Chain A
């Protein structure tokens, strides 16, 4: 039985256990049909030309979440939290909510679980207004929708500034030989509300994990969303991240993606600017080695006029690692006076590493400022010699250049503790610790 067949038959068992009056019952049924019709994407599709899921689909994944037999002690996973500062935490273990590791709230803001939002009537109106409204109806997103049951539910009412960051962490324990996880996050940020969110996926064993996550974020008028994705999972874990941000006027949304780990990572990051004067920022640092693969597939859809978008992705590729950057900017006919900027810079450390970088601009308005640039290079030999001539060893000199290269992405991380952590993650990744922070 192929994975697709297994998934479709699991769906029947899954749906049997759910109440028919769930507000998303019909959506699930439609979604599984979409997945059944389209299956997993293949390299024949333009958007998947450089990323093949084939090797991942051979594993015999367990599809429906089961509670781990053993519990996880906080001290064993402490390192994955921003433990030096106070945060809200929504934690899942093998796809099942862990109340023990979490710290949720219903006090003025809702930082809780999608499962409760889906089952309790008081959330019904929010679910009906937002759930699956920003997500594309493609095959992988549909697969997630069909099984959507658990994930983070965050609702920040208007004018509310959440006083501490929210961490969404998905652990897997290896209690199944191979597991497919499909977290589903719904985040609604009301008018003039502010929120900072950090998302992380962490495999605690060497068993195979494939995560197909969907996150929908709605930023109402003047809302401010700062979202960080830390992708430092171990090399038996793969991630397909489907994130959709729907912005109303005067809202400001930033997503930073730090991709240093995992076997295969695909980021489908989609921004929709529905109102005037929106700002969107998409930034990423990718540092890979071995046979790691990271594919950034971004879309910024300018629907309304007078908006801005900035994309800045830096990649450093060693050994046989491969990177893909596919940045699409669409400017609709009515979206005049758009300022869209896109930059993708790459350094290939090894001659066996590969990067495929492709901008895609579809501009239907005539009064827009749209710029894009892509560079692929090596570490600058003259700069290396300059540093070495001052007594800085080759390894440190290279590290310094890599830090410097990635710095302007790191610069805009607004949580100091997080910035310090990412600095450390970079240091660990390139094997050199600098005596200072950038």
Chain B
């Protein structure tokens, strides 16, 4: 589904990603772990098409199509979803109106009519229930004054509405208490199928108890330095990242 080869990217004149290789197939869950500042969010942003980051070298294909030159909205239309580490506040636009616009814009790109209002409402209700989101919440301005946890839950709500093929969850667990974490993880698992894939970026092994990865990768200093199965996550939790650094030298 997603194939990344020898990806180098920088912002301004700072090299951040220094040769990333990653293959994600349909039906798989991948976890990317690594210390702060190692380039995890940058990788997610580059996949989603943030123009600020300059791709210097390498390839990104999605469903066998080169996406490296595509606009972010085009990538979204193809089924890529990024749950932001720091969701942006958009005062004046309600959660409901925002998601309606996102869905109808995606439909428009496929030559489809707007989703009928009744169907939209039903879907909103269903997904809000799945993530235990209060209706009142949906008429609030997007992310404005939301707590950290509310923002993350809202990101997953949007994901549930958009039903992407590839979901990248950037530190979705930060800001969530354990109960909220379970709700969100349960939501992600419900949406999981043999046709879609999830990449979970996290600091902590905790989330991986609920969203169980098939593969775990360690990103350090702009490179994937180690890959393994979910046991690797336990090892990292226990021993930190220093031993990997030592292994590398």
Contact = CB atoms under 8 A, between A and B. Distances in A.
A pairs with B: yes
Interface of A: 380-383, 385-394, 396-397, 400-401, 403-408, 434-436, 438
Contacts of A391: 73, 76-77, 102-103, 105-106, 109, 162
B62 to A, nearest CB: 14
28 contacts: A383-B88, A385-B48, A385-B50, A385-B52, A385-B72, A387-B90, A389-B72, A390-B102, A390-B158, A391-B76, A391-B102, A391-B103, A391-B105, A391-B109, A392-B101, A394-B71, A400-B98, A403-B93, A405-B92, A408-B92, A434-B97, A435-B97, A435-B101, A435-B104, A435-B114, A436-B101, A438-B93, A438-B97
A407 B90 CA distance: 11
Contacts of B146: none
Nearest to A411: B92
Interface residues of B, number: 33
B87 interface: yes
B162 A390 contact: yes
A380 to B, nearest CB: 7
B239 to A, nearest CB: 35
A392 B102 contact: yes
Interface string B61-72: 000000000011
B48 A389 contact: yes
A383 B91 CA distance: 11
Given A390-B158, A390-B162, A407 B92 contact: yes
A436 B109 contact: no
A405 to B, nearest CB: 7
A408 B93 CA distance: 11
Contacts of A400: 90, 93, 98, 101
B82 to A, nearest CB: 5
B230 to A, nearest CB: 28
B137 interface: no
A396 B105 CA distance: 9
Interface in B75-93: 75-77, 81-82, 84, 87-88, 90-93
A388 B71 contact: yes
Contacts of B18: none
Contacts of B90: 383, 386-387, 400-401, 404
A396 B93 contact: no
B112 to A, nearest CB: 12
B73 A393 contact: yes
Given A386-B90, A396-B101, A404-B90, 17 more contacts: A385-B72, A387-B98, A388-B49, A388-B73, A389-B75, A390-B81, A390-B98, A390-B102, A391-B77, A391-B103, A391-B105, A401-B90, A405-B92, A406-B92, A407-B91, A435-B97, A435-B100
Contacts of A403: 92-93
Contact of A436 (B52, B72, B84, B97): B97
Contacts of B114: 435
A63 B132 CA distance: 68
B91 A404 contact: yes
Interface string B201-219: 0000000000000000000
